Structure 1
């Protein structure tokens, strides 16, 4: 089978396709024939040598959200059968024709669900959903500010916030095309966060109050200003640092009864399985009803993993970038 690995940190060109033995599932695992692999920005940063999640080891074999068909069961697996279509987050060795995954984390797909769209479920959609609901405690009618709203998580967060009853969704992005994109997904107000006065624009859109809930994943100066535009008694949920730059938050910035909550999907998976199951049911309902649409920016062949990383690194994507192993380059 084919697999994508890299043996040094650097540009997307370090990614290479190799031939490898098809792996076998161990106890509690399954082997999946991959139909679609969702590319995440965390793997772009690891390829660059930034230790996201505590590691960026070599040789690198990127992880991702993999949708496909179960072709072999490991010992003790009874939750799925050979032939079931599933999707799951795979920590490494995900850019491949076949992947091994833990059966405990599998999400069984409804009949007919598009594999590329399904890759939004394990990480992006659940991150957006639980950052809003569990970490942010979103209540109907509240104003939500979503930074980097055109990306894999952000474009889903805009739609999920509206489906949850947010009164106003303010979406920030870095280009006019991205702002048009998120307006089309239901954002009530769009702001270019490269504008020097973007924070003032947020305050103007909220009558000076700021946003009740802020989802922040950029870091750096955007994080600092996002704290400033969080409303009194509001909450900022931090779930990533796409810029790789983490500015410290001074305690006095929170003095007006502002809250900062960290978010980790893995913390949810390991500690709140009931909330995960409930969230998935709601997400399937939102997607099935058309309230939420996972948008695929581009479907690329496995051999085009480097191009996928180029798109992500340039922040050029609207929605998700997906590798399709059965697509010819």
Structure 2
């Protein structure tokens, strides 16, 4: 079969389309003919071996797929690797039936990115009605869904940040009340001003560096910051435990892989998200449908922050 394989770590230049043997499923696995594979920022970390879980070579990247099984079942599935290929082996427990009315791009968007947004709001920060939520990287896959979910959960105000005016306009279209440039000179002050002069309750943060630092400084008493990525590849300043006492702040980290041990909860999340898509209440933003041979461009566009919404690769192209 055709697949994207890396034999050395590095940037997009190490991604190469090649022929590899078809994968063989085990007893607790399914073989899926892949119609789309999702592209996530985590894939770029996996490619240069800077991800939380160390990678082993040779490697076929890609953590999520949608396609059909031999008996015609249409499933979306989370995989540790192996997604950028014509066929993929997936664990039965992490394969989710895709209902009618959910297209391929939407199906993969609801996996890593949709479930991340769902967990961040419902299980990590425990968003309450009326609270203010800051969504950084608001035009991205997680951010675009988090805006809509936060509004549906009764957030009093959603403050989005995004790097371009086009992306900020998209965030506003999706329901954000305010959209800011995260590169503004005093982000802490800008966030507080956008909240009517009051500190913010919840921050969803995946940028790193000064964005994390200033967002933490903008938290209200009992505020929560959930850190789930570091797109800038810049470490935030270390957090002193005593500084958290100043406003009774909570800082938490989140990695979706830790939820893999609870398949019923994952299935609940996927089912709720899919139902919202079918009902027309959750809009998936397509960020690019790349041919398998154009996967380098997909990674370059993602790393260059030139994209919005969900990126996919199509093994059929």
Secondary structure, aligned partner of 1:110: coil
Matched residues in 1 for 2:258 and 2:24: separation? 28
Match of 2:205 in 1: 216
Q: Name the CA distance, whole Å, in 2 between partners of 1:288 and 1:147.
A: 26
Task: For residue 112 of structure 1, report the CA deviation from its aligned partner.
Answer: 4.3
1:153 to 142, 147, 156: 142
Paired position in structure 1 for 2:310: 320
In the aligned structure 2, how far is the partner of 1:244 from the partner of 1:89? 25
1:292 Cα deviation from its structure 2 partner: 1.1
- After superposition, the C-alpha distances for 1:22-57 in whole angstroms (9 at most, x for unaligned) are 11111100000000011011111222331x122133
* Structure 1: gaps of 5 or more residues: 72-81
Q: How many residues align?
A: 315
Aligned twin of 2:288:
298
- 1:104-149 deviations in whole A, cap 9, x for unaligned? 1111001242112210122100100110010010111111001111
Can you give the 5+ residue segments of structure 2 that lack an aligned partner in the other structure?
Answer: none
Instruction: Provide the C-alpha distance between the structure 1 equivalents of 2:22 and 2:168, rounded to a whole number of angstroms.
Output: 43
Deviations 1:233-291 (Å, cap 9, x if unpaired)?
111111121122222112233121111122222222314x4433332332122212222
Q: CA separation in 2, counterparts of 1:95 and 1:277?
A: 23
For 1:315 and 1:94, how far apart are their aligned partners in 2? 22
Equivalent of residue 279 in structure 2, options 289, 312, 319:
289
Moved more, 36-45 or 262-271: 262-271
In structure 1, the residue corresponding to 2:197 is in which secondary structure? coil
Partner of 1:234: 223
Q: Distance in 2 between matches of 1:278 and 1:43?
A: 25
1:257 to 245, 248, 255: 248
SS in 1 for 2:43: helix
Matched residues in 2 for 1:168 and 1:290: separation?
A: 22
Partner of 2:130: 141
TM-score by length of 2: 0.95
Kindly provide the CA deviation profile for residues 55-98 of structure 1, in whole angstroms up to 9, marking residues without a partner as x.
13332321221000012xxxxxxxxxx21000011111210000
Q: Check conservation: 1:5, 1:15, Cα contact below 8 A.
A: yes
Is contact 2:28–2:91 with CA below 8 Å preserved after alignment?
yes
TM-score normalised by L of structure 1: 0.92
Contact 1:163–1:286, Cα closer than 8 Å, also in 2: no
CA distance in 1, matches of 2:316, 2:267: 31
Report the more deviating stretch, 21-30 or 262-271.
262-271
Tell me the residue number matched to 1:58: 57
CA contact (8 A) 2:137 2:143 kept: yes
Distance 1:249 1:57 in 2: 32
Question: Who is 1:76 aligned against?
Answer: none
1:112–1:257: structure 2 CA closer, same or farther, 3 Å change rule? closer
